[in-house]
Structure 1
Amino acid sequence: MPTGVAVVCDTDDCLAIYLAVETGNDGDERSANDVSQLARKAAEGDGWVISFGFTQPVMTCPGCAD
């Protein structure tokens, strides 16, 4: 079952969005936590910087991280 994931840059005034689709047919539905982990790993692999704020991860696109 394909799973779509999206990560949005948390920097003020930045409109960057990272979109990815994980394909495969494992027959199981993924939990929200599984999809969140998948999104973080995919974004980090493409240069996004993941840090942690008060209650959730903070995502920064490669352009804002420079």
Structure 2
Amino acid sequence: MKLKVISKYKQEFLILQGKEEKALDNQPVYNKKGKVAQIIDTIGSTTNPYYVAKIIDKESCDKAKEVEC
């Protein structure tokens, strides 16, 4: 599932926006360079969910606009 990167919080977390699909907590998040973050919480409704992901690879997340899980 593709997730849009909405913002970064204190260089520690990514705020991601998904579609109607539901990602599971603790699910890894990837980009072209590999695993960059891990989902830790879901915010919002099931039709418009937002996800909070703890950044693992800060360098790879700096310019990320879209990630997958």
Task: Give the TM-score taking structure 1 as reference length.
Answer: 0.33
The structure with more helix, counted as a fraction of residues: 1
The structure with more strand, counted as a fraction of residues: 2
Q: Which has the larger radius of gyration?
A: 1
Task: Give the TM-score taking structure 2 as reference length.
Answer: 0.32
